[in-house]
């Protein structure tokens, strides 16, 4: 142990002695009540920590998702980060896309390309794309099946990005198949 760790340990022991001393003085004739109170606060602390640890999982389960209206329109709620995310089925696999009206093409991340059955190592990266992070190399692919709600498109052209991407992008070549409307905090797609 270095001197910094020893100092921290000493501080924590001093804090424990101070809090423990206060509990002994305050509850000296009521130790059962002190133990019940300590147990209750311990369970509250554990519950808060568990909730904090699971927040990302819980948030994705309770967050609003895209819906299909009776008229066949696809309504996509705006996410907390201000973007619109759509889930399409690509070759039968659900893939989440970031709707990007500044992108020309549908671009798959390396991870999503693998999920839909494309091996990025076997692709020829002959194209380039200008992104906010600079120039990246791209490979053109053809997706046998792309489905959004009731609409399926066969042999749809897309690109696999060789650079780092967290989300696949849904560019204007796909979005232009729909009439796109932004109403309040919803994106509405109609065909």
Residue 92: CATH number of its domain: 2.40.70.10
Helix axes 3-26, 31-62, angle to 10 degrees: 120
Q: What confidence score (pLDDT) does residue 62 get?
A: 54
Residues 86 and 153 reside in one and the same domain:
yes
Q: Give the structural domain span for 34.
A: 3-62
Q: Are residues 57 and 99 in the same domain?
A: no
Domain count, the chain: 2
Choose the final residue of a domain: 32, 62, 92.
Answer: 62
Same domain for 155 and 72: yes
If asked whether residues 46 and 81 sit together in one domain, one would say: no
The rounded average pLDDT for each run of 10 residues, N- to C-terminus, in the chain (191 residues) is 86 87 82 84 88 68 71 88 93 93 91 94 88 84 94 95 87 94 92 90
| Per-residue confidence (pLDDT) for residue 38, from 0 to 100 | 83
Please give the pLDDT value at position 158: 95
pLDDT at position 103 is 87
Residue that terminates a domain, selected from 62, 90, 113: 62
102 and 23, same structural domain? no
Let me know whether 117 and 180 are in one domain: yes
The model's pTM is: 0.66
Helices and strands counted in the chain (H then E): 4, 11
Helix/strand/coil for 69: coil
Are residues 101 and 7 part of one domain? no
Q: Which of 109, 67, 69 is nearest to 84 (CA)?
A: 67
76 and 138 part of one domain: yes
Rg over alpha carbons for the chain, rounded to the nearest Å, is 27
Determine how β-strand 93-99 pairs with β-strand 168-170: parallel
Q: What is the pLDDT of residue 129?
A: 83
- How confident is the model at residue 60, as a pLDDT? 53
Q: Which of 182, 171, 166, 162 is nearest to 88 (CA)?
A: 171
Co-location of 47 and 117 in the same domain? no
């Amino acid at each position: 142990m270095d001197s910094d760790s020893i100092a921290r340990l000493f501080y924590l022991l001093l804090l424990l002695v101070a809090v423990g001393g206060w509990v002994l003085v305050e509850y000296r004739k009521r130790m059962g009540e002190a133990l019940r109170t300590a147990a209750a606060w311990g369970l509250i602390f554990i519950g808060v920590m568990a909730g904090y640890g699971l927040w990302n999982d819980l948030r994705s389960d309770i967050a609003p998702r895209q819906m299909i209206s009776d008229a066949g329109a696809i309504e996509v709620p705006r996410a907390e980060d201000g973007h619109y995310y759509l889930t399409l089925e690509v070759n039968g696999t659900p893939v989440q896309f970031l709707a990007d009206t500044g992108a020309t093409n549908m671009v798959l991340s390396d991870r999503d390309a693998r999920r839909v059955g494309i091996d990025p190592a076997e692709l020829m990266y002959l194209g380039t794309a200008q992104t906010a992070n600079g120039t990246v190399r791209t490979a053109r692919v053809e997706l046998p099946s792309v489905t959004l709600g009731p609409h399926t498109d066969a042999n749809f052209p897309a690109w696999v990005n060789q650079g780092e991407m967290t989300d696949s992008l849904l560019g204007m070549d796909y979005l232009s198949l729909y009439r796109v409307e932004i109403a309040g905090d919803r994106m509405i797609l109609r065909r």
